[in-house]
């Protein structure tokens, strides 16, 4: 037990020896003359205390009191050590607070001795000091660093919170009834305010099962009102030189309640080196004993739980107690806060794997949305390296776009409506009341960095807020649960005025380091957290309802996670499908796109496939090129990606025609497009399609011919123009014979061409140019299929005559607009440069 325990053992031996000597001295004194009243009794009791001490220092501080040395009694023949019982339901009070240095020293000595006497991890110390702001605890810094001493509570709020936790600890200990409970040593270096003092006093009456020991300095406090009585407490009174020790509970020194008849000189501070050594030893032991392992979170049996009334999982531990968290009627939604690097991802992984291990995919499904650059949820989806996936995961968004987030929320709202119908049909109001065979799984949707979704004050943010509010309000009854996680909940403009309505539905708060924002402004419990710990609060974040939880580092347990995932994957139902995955950073490759590879010559009318929609299913972004006037594609924007989009679309169309049934007219008008067009022409020709190259003059000449029905030519003609705007001067000129301009002819082609299988696929480098070529706003339906690249949303709205269009141009994204079926969707356009024609 180290140097301290050895010192302690020596002290006990010295005490016994001193008692013996003192006894002999008293007997000699008694023989010599009349005994002092009560002294034989005193001697006998001291002797008994000495006998009790003959046993070894007890390891279990909650089973029975242990004798702890507090100082040395002065007697006629010198001194002897004085020990008082502590722990095991007994306590100590001193009438002067720790602003008297002797008291501070005594408290520190007792703390150190109790810690040294017990096995590591058996004692936790919580300090209170409203009078001197925790000064009494400063020399014990190594114990603070070791995690066995909490920072002192100095304000009424902190003290109240500490007492809340102590009362919870006491209740839990009484309830658990286990012999090896952790002892909570509450050390008040000065008396707290009356209400808190009364609560502290009540703890002294709680008995040994509560596993609480109170050291209270400054009791009874001066002032009116009287002090609450303490239970099972040895009381010390200090005079100028000595301490007078009252009768210890159960082992009184006196028969008349006068306490120890000898004055006592209290022990001084433990040596700084001793404290440091103890701190080091305890820190190492605490780390070992308190390490929460990922496997501790897992149930004995997989998929054994029912989600009828809610979902529960173990998040970590508080002290030695496991802490569970739930998605149920009381805590349907969670709010998680923590600065970057605080362990948010790890905590979410702990929760998600915990749920996945307890509940089968028929009981819970997961939608996982991440808005940051990172890899939070990648491990739930199949990859080249590891084909496994988490069978509960239905949709996973990695580095998601806000539009994807809104699409997920919209899908959830549809699910909500479906479930409302289901409940109605069964005549019940809650998921739990449905018959088991009709009960759908609960759905947990995690939105990491959700503030990104709500950032800005645009139409998208408003939609997201509306959806979130509705899901938060109604989700509880329908088994839809939300976890919103963020670095910060401040600065979310779109929430102004609605924050309360939304976050009021999130009673469960988890604050990681730097995550105080999810707690009440008066609750600063998260300020002192270290990585690996979180404040759990199921009362909407109010101070006083905190439980500090330590959770395991899932990153460090990557092998355990993978083993579990493979186990669950292997147990998936036959025919189970992997989650749909949206990777925001990914450029879709034509060869990997299932819609593109499935294109066959039977597709009629042909599809102009331009990319993938940013939605939950990753649906194809395409236009049907049917015979309706205006079925042409305009790709708009200065971004040269326009060339790639046209190329991919053309190749897709080529796949839908048997050789010889479609011809391709390529007009590379914009600078730098000739090589690309040549390359495309070769690819098309290799696939057996007739291809022609047109320059601007040839284009001008061909347009009128294309506007009129050909006789017996191939069924389709695609006029692919790279940089239509480059032809505007030529098109503006009027033909001296027909008096028609090229623009007139173009407009005729746009209207009549589709009727006989002619479609224009054009790249315009500006919206204004497109508008001019079409002949003004009234002709905008002459090209009904639009892919907008780097075109400002406002300008696009004007062109389309749509006032609330929400589009922010960005790399790798485009807006698809189909004026015929009123579709507007964000897409990831194809920009693949590889040779896709297999």
Per CB under 6 A, residues contacting ligand ATP are 338, 340-346, 374, 531-532, 551-553, 555-556
CB of 338 to ligand ATP, least distance (A): 5
Over the Cα atoms of the chain, what is R_g? 39
CB of 341 to ligand ATP, least distance (A): 5
Nearer to ligand ATP, 250 or 341 (CB): 341
Minimum distance from residue 297 beta carbon to ligand ATP (Å): 11
Q: Check the annotation: does 343 bind a ligand.
A: yes
Task: Flag whether 104 is marked binding.
Answer: no
Task: Judge whether 168 is annotated as a binding position.
Answer: no
The minimum distance between CB 557 and ligand ATP, in angstroms, equals 10
Neighbouring C-alpha atoms within 13 Å toward the C-beta of 232: 20
Q: Which is nearer to ligand ATP, 555 or 823 (CB)?
A: 555
Evaluate the CA torsion angle 343, 344, 347, 352 in order and state its sign.
Answer: negative
Closest CA to 625 of 783, 823, 769: 783
**Which CB, 294 or 389, lies closer to ligand ATP?**
294
Please state, as a whole number, how many other Cβ atoms lie within 10 Å of the Cβ of residue 59. 13
How far does the chain reach from its first CA to its final CA, in angstroms?
75
Q: How far is the CB of 552 from ligand ATP (least distance, A)?
A: 6
Residue number with CB closer to ligand ATP (123 or 336): 336
Judged by beta carbon, residue 72 or residue 350, the one nearer ligand ATP is: 350
CA distance 139 to 811: 58
Q: Which residues pair with 421 in a beta bridge?
A: none
Minimum distance, C-beta of residue 367 to ligand ATP, in the bound complex (Å): 18
Concatenate the DSSP letters of all residues of 597-638 into one string.
HT--TT-SS-EEEEEEESSTT--EEEEE--SSTT--EEEESS
Query: 441: closest CA among 415, 410, 465?
Result: 415
| 344 labelled ligand-binding | yes
State in angstroms the smallest separation of the CB of 465 from ligand ATP.
23
In the complex, minimum distance from the CB of residue 577 to ligand ATP, in angstroms, rounded to a whole number: 28
Two tokens, residue 403: 């539009």
Give all strands (DSSP E) within 189-309, no chain letters.
212-217, 233-238, 243-245, 264-266
For 336-389, what is the HEC assignment?
A: EECCCCCCHHHHHHHHHHHHHHHCCCCCEEEEEEECCCCCCCHHHCCCCCCCCC
Among candidate residues 299, 394, 300, the one with its CA nearest the CA of residue 354:
299
Other C-beta atoms lying within 10 Å of the C-beta of residue 587 = 16
Q: Residue 345, annotated ligand binder? A: yes
> Nearer to ligand ATP by C-beta: 405 or 552?
552
Residue 380: CB minimum distance to ligand ATP, A: 15
Report yes or no: 374 and 338 within 8 Å, Cβ to Cβ: no
91 vs 344, beta carbon nearer ligand ATP: 344
Q: Which is nearer to ligand ATP, 24 or 555 (CB)?
A: 555
Query: Which residues fall within 8 angstroms of residue 7, CB to CB, at 6 or more apart?
Result: none
What's the rounded Cα separation, in Å, for the pair 594 and 640?
A: 25
DSSP string, 489-514: STT-GGGTTTHHHHHTT--EEEE-TT
> Cβ of residue 532: shortest distance to ligand ATP, in angstroms?
3
Q: Angle at which helices 674-686 and 641-654 pack, to 10 degrees?
A: 10
Q: How far, in Å, CA of 144 to CA of 150, rounded?
A: 6
Query: Do residues 743 and 732 make contact, with C-beta atoms less than 8 angstroms apart?
Result: yes
Q: Does the annotation list 47 as a binding residue?
A: no
Q: Whole-number minimum distance, CB 375 to ligand ATP, in Å?
A: 9
Q: What is the DSSP string of 774-830?
A: HTSGGGGGGS-EEEESS--HHHHHHHHT-TT------TT-EEEEETTTTEEEEEEE-
What is d(CA 492, CA 488) in angstroms, rounded to the nearest whole number?
9
Residue closer to ligand ATP, measured from CB, 96 or 549: 549
Per DSSP, what are the bridge partners of residue 788? 636, 815
Cβ distance to ligand ATP smaller for residue 291 or 729: 291
410 Cβ contact list (under 8 Å, min separation 6): 467
- Residue 290 or 640 having the CB closest to ligand ATP: 290
Nearer to ligand ATP, 376 or 717 (CB): 376
The 3-state DSSP class for residue 206 equals coil
| Residue indicated by tokens 């190492």 | 284
Tell me the C-alpha distance between 279 and 146, whole Å. Answer: 5
Q: In whole angstroms, how close is the CB of 553 to ligand ATP at the nearest point?
A: 3
Structure tokens at 355: 């749920």
Least distance to ligand ATP, CB of residue 432, Å:
33
Taking the complex as a whole, how short is the minimal distance between the CB of residue 287 and ligand ATP, in angstroms? 11
Neighbouring-strand partners of residue 186: 126, 214
Whose Cβ is closer to ligand ATP: residue 371's or residue 764's? Answer: 371
Nearer to ligand ATP by Cβ, of 117 and 292: the residue is: 292
Binding-site members are: 338-345
Binding-site members for ATP are: 338-345
């Amino acid at each position: 037990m180290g140097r301290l325990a050895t010192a302690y053992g020596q002290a006990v031996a010295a005490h016994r020896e001193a008692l013996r000597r003192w006894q002999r001295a008293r007997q000699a004194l008694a023989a010599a003359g009349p005994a002092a009243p009560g002294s034989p009794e005193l001697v006998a009791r001291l002797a008994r205390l000495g006998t009790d001490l003959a046993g070894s220092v007890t390891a279990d501080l909650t089973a029975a009191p242990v004798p702890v040395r507090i100082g040395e009694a002065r007697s006629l023949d010198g001194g002897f050590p004085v020990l008082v019982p502590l722990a095991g339901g007994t306590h100590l009070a001193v009438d002067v607070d720790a602003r008297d240095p002797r008291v501070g020293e005594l408290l520190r000595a007792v703390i150190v001795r109790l810690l040294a006497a017990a096995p590591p991890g058996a004692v936790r110390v919580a300090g209170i000091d409203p009078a001197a702001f925790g000064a009494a605890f400063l020399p014990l810094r190594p114990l603070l660093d070791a995690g066995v001493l909490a920072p002192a509570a100095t304000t009424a709020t902190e003290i109240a919170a500490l007492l809340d936790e102590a009362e919870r600890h006491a209740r839990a200990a009484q309830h658990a009834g286990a012999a090896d409970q952790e002892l909570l040593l509450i050390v008040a270096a000065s008396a707290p305010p009356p209400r808190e003092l009364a609560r502290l006093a009540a703890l002294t009456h709680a008995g040994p099962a509560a596993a609480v020991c109170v050291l209270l300095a400054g009791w009874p406090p001066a002032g009116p009102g009287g002090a609450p009585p303490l239970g099972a407490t040895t009381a010390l009174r200090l005079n100028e030189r000595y301490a007078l020790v009252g009768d210890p509970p159960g082992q009184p020194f006196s028969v008349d309640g006068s306490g120890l008849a000898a004055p006592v000189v209290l022990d001084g501070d433990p040596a700084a080196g001793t404290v440091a050594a103890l701190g080091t030893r305890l820190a190492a032991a605490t780390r070992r004993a308190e390490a929460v392992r990922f496997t501790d979170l897992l149930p004995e049996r997989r998929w054994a739980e029912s989600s009828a009334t809610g979902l529960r999982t173990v998040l970590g531990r508080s002290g030695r107690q496991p802490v569970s968290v739930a998605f149920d009627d009381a805590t349907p939604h969670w709010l998680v806060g923590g600065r970057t690097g605080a362990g948010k991802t790890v905590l979410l992984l702990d929760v998600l794997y915990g749920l996945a291990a307890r509940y089968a995919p028929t009981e819970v499904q997961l939608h996982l949305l991440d808005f940051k650059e990172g890899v939070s949820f990648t491990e739930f989806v199949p990859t080249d390296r590891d084909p496994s996936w988490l069978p509960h995961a239905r949709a996973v968004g990695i580095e998601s776009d806000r539009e994807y987030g809104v699409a997920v929320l919209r899908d959830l709202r549809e699910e909500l409506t479906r479930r409302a119908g289901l409940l109605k049909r069964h005549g019940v109001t809650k998921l739990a009341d449905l018959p088991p065979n009709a009960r759908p799984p609960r759905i947990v949707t995690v939105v990491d960095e959700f503030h990104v979704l709500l950032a800005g004050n645009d139409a998208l943010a408003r939609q997201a807020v509306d959806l979130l509010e509705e899901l938060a309000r109604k989700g509880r009854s329908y088994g839809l649960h939300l976890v919103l996680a963020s670095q910060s909940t401040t600065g979310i403009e779109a929430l102004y005025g609605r924050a309360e309505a939304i976050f009021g539905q999130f009673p469960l708060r988890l604050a990681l380091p730097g995550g105080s924002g999810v707690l009440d402004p008066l609750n600063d419990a998260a300020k002192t957290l270290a990585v690996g710990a979180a404040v759990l609060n199921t009362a909407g974040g109010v101070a006083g309802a905190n439980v500090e939880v330590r959770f395991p580092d899932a990153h460090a347990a990557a092998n355990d996670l993978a083993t579990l995932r493979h186990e669950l994957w292997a147990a998936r139902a036959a025919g189970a499908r992997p989650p749909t995955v949206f990777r925001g950073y990914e450029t879709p490759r034509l060869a990997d796109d299932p819609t593109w590879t499935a294109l066959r010559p039977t597709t009629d009318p042909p599809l102009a496939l331009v990319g993938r929609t940013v939605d939950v299913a990753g649906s194809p972004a395409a236009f049907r090129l049917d015979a309706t006037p205006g079925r042409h594609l305009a790709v708009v924007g200065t971004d040269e990606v326009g060339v790639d989009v046209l190329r991919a679309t053309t190749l897709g169309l080529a796949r839908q025609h048997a050789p010889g049934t479609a011809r391709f007219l390529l007009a590379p008008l914009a600078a730098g497009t000739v090589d690309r067009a040549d390359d495309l022409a070769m690819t098309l020709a290799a696939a057996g399609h007739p291809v022609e190259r047109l320059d601007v003059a040839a284009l001008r000449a061909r347009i009128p011919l294309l506007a009129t029905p050909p006789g017996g030519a191939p069924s389709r003609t695609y006029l692919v123009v790279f940089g239509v705007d480059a032809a505007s001067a030529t098109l503006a000129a009027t033909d001296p014979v027909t008096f028609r301009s090229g623009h007139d002819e173009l407009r005729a082609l746009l209207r009549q061409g589709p009727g006989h299988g002619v479609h224009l696929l054009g790249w315009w480098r500006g919206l204004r140019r497109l508008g001019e070529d079409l002949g003004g706003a009234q002709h905008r339906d002459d090209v009904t299929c639009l892919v907008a690249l780097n075109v400002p949303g406002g300008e696009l709205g004007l062109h389309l005559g749509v006032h609330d269009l929400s589009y922010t141009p960005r790399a790798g994204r485009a807006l698809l607009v189909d004026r015929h079926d009123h579709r507007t969707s964000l897409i990831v356009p194809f920009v693949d440069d590889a040779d896709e024609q297999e």
